[in-house]
Amino acid sequence: MINTLHIKNIGIIDDVTIDLNEGFNVLTGETGAGKTLIIESLQILSGGRFSKEMIRRGEENSFVEASFYLPNLNFEDNMVVISREISLKGKNTCKINGRLVTVTELRNFMKNIIDIHGQNENQSILDLNNQINLLDEYSEKELKVFKNKYTSLYEEYIKIKAELDKNYGDDREKQRKLDLLNYQLKEIEDAKLKKGEEKILEEKIKLINSSEKISQNLQESETQINNNIVDSMNYVIRLLEKIEQYSSKYAELVSRLKNSYYEIQEVGVDINLISKDNYFNEEEKFDIEERLDLINSLKRKYGNSIDEILKYKNNIKNEIYEIENLEGYINSLKSKLRNLEEEMMKLAEKMHNIRIKFSQDLSSKINKELKDLEMKNATFSVKIEFNENKKFNKNGLDKIEFLISTNRGEEEKSLIKIASGGEMSRIMLAIKTILASVDKIPIMIFDEIDTGISGIAANVTGEKMKKISKSHQVICVTHLASIAAKGEYNYFISKEILENKTRTTVKLLNEEETLMEIARISSGSITDISLNHAKELRNMNLKETA
């Protein structure tokens, strides 16, 4: 149920907060005060279309937010907050419990929460998928066992079909996949990749690209050692040798210098050898770069490293083996599929017969409801088509469609093709009255569905909405006293002018105020006669409730 609805800057509504309740909430009020804007705000919150013209004049954006108590959706504390903000610049922000969502995500979420019935709204019951679900829920007592078993078999059926598709049951697809895998395997094997070679090649190409600089520095180092350092050290050694006899310290220095002298000579020899090894020609460089290009090309196709490419190669080998040895496995899957189809066919036929039986019962009850609502010439029926070609779906082989003819002699048409908004609203009310106990959408909104009816039909319309409110939260906008009198919570929508701007106000009425409002809408003014009539309507409602 909706706990609180907050609307800001939509039409003449500047900032309104409405606390709603379980059961039957009735909205009445002055013409043009904003009753329809409240319903349109809920439509916007449900992911409906929004026109910038709806933004209150002089404001930059509109905002709608509602808190819901939804015990069946596993939210924390069973509470959900939905909001949508739209600006003149086109920015459209939707949130579910603070998480940003797209309009499509919002619409998909809310279609299971709110069902709006009015002159132009698209009700959930118009969805063919929902129609078969509603019929199945209506016939659940007899259907449930068969449908549960069918669902279990169907899930296995889908898995096997997916496995067959994956394992290339089609010979041409199988050969196409084999050709591709063999090509990939050959490409990787021809490359003769070695673990770690990429790093070695990259270091080598780095050396080649720096070879000139390296050679210059090695040659200069060798020259310095041979021509300067070695000669200088040799000269110092000779000088110290002349005085080493005078002190052991001098002798020690000579010994250390000689060790260093021989070490530096060896360094010079090593530099000379390295210089000779540092020769690279252009052809060698080209070969290395070509090899690295090949490795990078394979990495783009098969993995981010040589290790990953080699792992992919092993996977290819395994897949090729599986495909080449699939015949027995595929035949086994096909046999299972045939057995499943036979069992599913039997169950689908049983479900079909049960649906036919309950569709007739449902049609009979809805037609009775339509007559109560002054649609005496209307006929409702359920069209059930059985697919003989074994095109199984999650519901079996039936295609369900709700049909209606609103005038005697007219052809029955799909519900979605009914032109009159008033007729559609009453048809929806008739259907919802019968299906209320199985319809899992918790909130139902009726926007002036009483248009064009009066008297007994109006009273019956109110009774039916009141009946639905026992299992759903119902929010109803009405201009009929007989319906308003049945409200458990009556709200008065009015408008006032403040600082030369019109604004909407919403007030939850107490019992005395409710009677005065019923009197007002029954006769246009509050008089003793209209008040007595309001009390009579209210008392009738209390008797009906009792």
CA 339 to CA 346: how far, in whole Å? 11
CA 31 to CA 479: how far, in whole Å? 9
pLDDT of residue 184: 93
pLDDT of residue 542: 65
Give the side-chain half-sphere CA count within 13 A for 438.
17
CA 361 to CA 401: how far, in whole Å? 15
**DSSP string over 476-542:** EE---HHHHTT-SEEEEEEEEEETTEEEEEEEE--HHHHHHHHHHHHHSS--HHHHHHHHHHHHHHH
Residues 6+ apart with CB under 8 A from 166: none
SS3 205: helix
pLDDT of residue 344: 95
The alpha carbon torsion through 535, 538, 542, 543 (nearest 10 deg) reads: 70
**Tokens standing for residue 411:** 């052809």
CA 308 to CA 195: how far, in whole Å? 10
Indicate the pairing of strand 92-96 with strand 501-508.
unpaired
pLDDT of residue 395: 93
Pair 54, 516: CB distance under 8 Å: no
Q: Tokens 């759903």 map to which residue?
A: 472
- Given a cut of 50, the residues of the chain with pLDDT beneath it are 120, 122
pLDDT of residue 62: 93
Pair 521, 514: CB distance under 8 Å: no
CA nearest to 428, candidates 477, 465, 482: 465
Judge if pTM exceeds 0.75: no
pLDDT of residue 50: 84
CA 365 to CA 380: how far, in whole Å? 9
pLDDT of residue 277: 65
Render the burial of 361-375: b for 16+ CB within 10 Å, e for the rest: ebbebbbebbebbbb
Q: Tokens 């248009």 map to which residue?
A: 451
Pair 486, 462: CB distance under 8 Å: yes
CB burial of residue 147 (10 Å; 0-12, 13-18, 19+): buried
| Residue count of the chain | 546
CA nearest to 314, candidates 181, 197, 166: 181
Assign domain 1-113+442-546 to its CATH superfamily.
P-loop containing nucleotide triphosphate hydrolases (3.40.50.300)
pLDDT of residue 93: 93
Pair 467, 433: CB distance under 8 Å: yes
CB burial of residue 338 (10 Å; 0-12, 13-18, 19+): exposed
CA nearest to 381, candidates 366, 371, 399: 366
pLDDT of residue 120: 47
Q: Tokens 């969805």 map to which residue?
A: 127
Whole-Å CA distances, 153 to 137, 145, 147: 20, 13, 10
The alpha carbon torsion through 116, 114, 483, 522 (nearest 10 deg) reads: -60
pLDDT of residue 75: 81
Which ranges of 4-82 would DSSP assign to H, the alpha helix? 35-45
CA nearest to 112, candidates 133, 86, 139: 133
Question: Domain residue spans in the chain?
Answer: 1-113+442-546, 124-138+331-439, 197-320
